[in-house]
Amino acid sequence: LVPRLEPFTSTIFAEMTALATRTGAVNLGQGFPDTDGPPSMLAAAQRAIADGVNQYPPGPGRPELRAAIAAQRERYGTSFDPDTEVLVTVGATEAVAASMLALVEPGDEVVLFEPYYDSYAASVALAGATRRVVPLVEAEDGRFAVDLDALAAAIGPRTRAILVNSPHNPTGTVFNRAELAGIAALCVEHDLVAVTDEVYESLTYDGVEHVPLGSLPGMAERTVTISSAGKMFNCTGWKIGWACGPAELVSAVKAAKQFMTFVGGAPFQPAVAHALTHESAWVGGLRADLEAKRDRLSAGLAAAGFGVRRSAGTYFVCADVRPLGFADGAELCWRLPELIGVAAVPVQGFTDDPGPWRHVVRFAFCKRDEVIDEAVTRLHRLV
Ligand code: PMP
Ligand code: GLN
């Protein structure tokens, strides 16, 4: 293995899920739902297989899916030409990796907010670039906020791109308009490309609004907007994602993508197109369900003694383990499955500098109520 990939031999999600499986623990570590997506979408995929949609789809993705993606993005006031400005990928993960490979040169710098989703650091390394990490800071209201001064300080002459994930995994923060406007101003000032990971775009709670960075003034021409069907329609294993942006950027991403996987997921593409077009009410129901699950798990964690932080989106809530007498979240997460039969993920696994995050653990609430309740019952045994 080349040295630049040595830090990436395994992922914290795979390790924790393996530990959960080995010990029979309730898995609130890896974020994936334990119920299926809309029945009409599942039927559409089955129909597509029966109808012979089983060979290579077109390079940019099937036309009906690209049209459905462009139509779905109109809710944000953004418009994309399905023929030149939308690319279907093998999940958001491939779109992020292909964006880095296509848009960043070896030696360039890419700015990430910390904690960051693990694939970002690996994708930056695959491209031979260097990451510059800007920590989110915990605000008084328990939200993790963007420090625009720290961001400005992290941008230098070699900075080429910034990767922005909102709603944010693992903190559940949804970047607000002021934060996004500040990021946008810096992108324009320093002529940066923005790559946004919006896979949790439909999962925001308490009326908090998701604002795509690419919808802000001056950003359309410099933003690759990435999302995926996995979190929108409970189909994380289908790996249907997409990248939208100006034709020049999207064709660059396609140049890299076509030599990574070429294409993928033929029969799932018409099914996701169907869901994007006809199942927005189902997604609204999912959002309401997950908001209730966020409340259920947050209350349970608080009752068990954790210092629960505020989550306004995603599948995740973060909790401080210090009130329970533990200093290190990673140590606790490694012991938790054996100790009480629950798996969670230490947030320091998403950081370069674990310091400020050492005591923070991420729990996933995208699970059936009885699974959340069983985990909470077990977590009460910690005290
Ligand atoms: N980005 C974030 C922030 C995620 O949490 C995940 C994991 N679900 C992904 C990307 C991966 O998305 P996909 O499965 O579409 O590749
Ligand atoms: N995105 C999911 C999480 O954050 C899991 C993805 C993965 O296992 N790579 O838990």
Is pTM beyond 0.90 here? Answer: yes
Measured distance CA(97)–CA(94) in Å, rounded: 5
In tens, the pLDDT along 4-33 reads 999 999 888 889 999 999 999 999 999 999
Cα of 21 vs centre of ligand 1, distance in Å, is 21
* Contacts of 208 by beta carbon, 8 Å cutoff, 6+ apart: 174, 312, 313
pLDDT at 118 over 90: yes
- Provide the CA 134 distance to its chain's centre, in angstroms: 17
Measured distance CA(103)–CA(256) in Å, rounded: 9
Question: N- to C-terminal Cα distance for the chain?
Answer: 43
Cα angle 146, 149, 154 (rounded to 5 degrees) comes to 95
Ligand nearest the Cα of residue 11 is 2
pLDDT at 333 over 90: yes
pLDDT at 369 over 90: yes
Measured distance CA(250)–CA(256) in Å, rounded: 10
In tens, the pLDDT along 102-114 reads 999 999 999 999 9
Q: How confident is the model at residue 383 (pLDDT cuts 50, 70, 90)?
A: confident
| Ordered domains of the chain (ranges, CATH) | 3-37+281-382 (3.90.1150.10), 52-278 (3.40.640.10)
Measured distance CA(91)–CA(226) in Å, rounded: 9
Q: Which among 337, 313, 326 is positioned nearest to 167, based on CA atoms?
A: 313
Q: Whose CA is nearest to atom 8 of ligand 2?
A: 13
pLDDT at 361 over 90: yes
Average pLDDT over all residues of the chain: 97
Cα of 30 vs centre of ligand 2, distance in Å, is 5
State the pLDDT at residue 12: 87
The whole-number average pLDDT for the span 118-123 is 97
Ligand 1 proximity of 99 Cβ (cutoff 6 Å):
no
Ligand 2 proximity of 228 Cβ (cutoff 6 Å):
no
State the pLDDT at residue 308: 97
Please classify residue 330 by burial: count the beta carbons closer than 10 Å to its beta carbon, then call 0-12 exposed, 13-18 middle and 19+ buried.
middle
Q: What percent of the chain has pLDDT over 70?
A: 100
What ipTM was estimated for this complex? 0.97
115 upstream amide cis, omega within 30 of 0: yes
Q: How confident is the model at residue 92 (pLDDT cuts 50, 70, 90)?
A: very high
Measured distance CA(237)–CA(253) in Å, rounded: 22
170 upstream amide cis, omega within 30 of 0: yes
Ligand nearest the Cα of residue 10 is 2
- Check if the beta carbon of residue 349 is closer than 8 Å to that of residue 330: yes
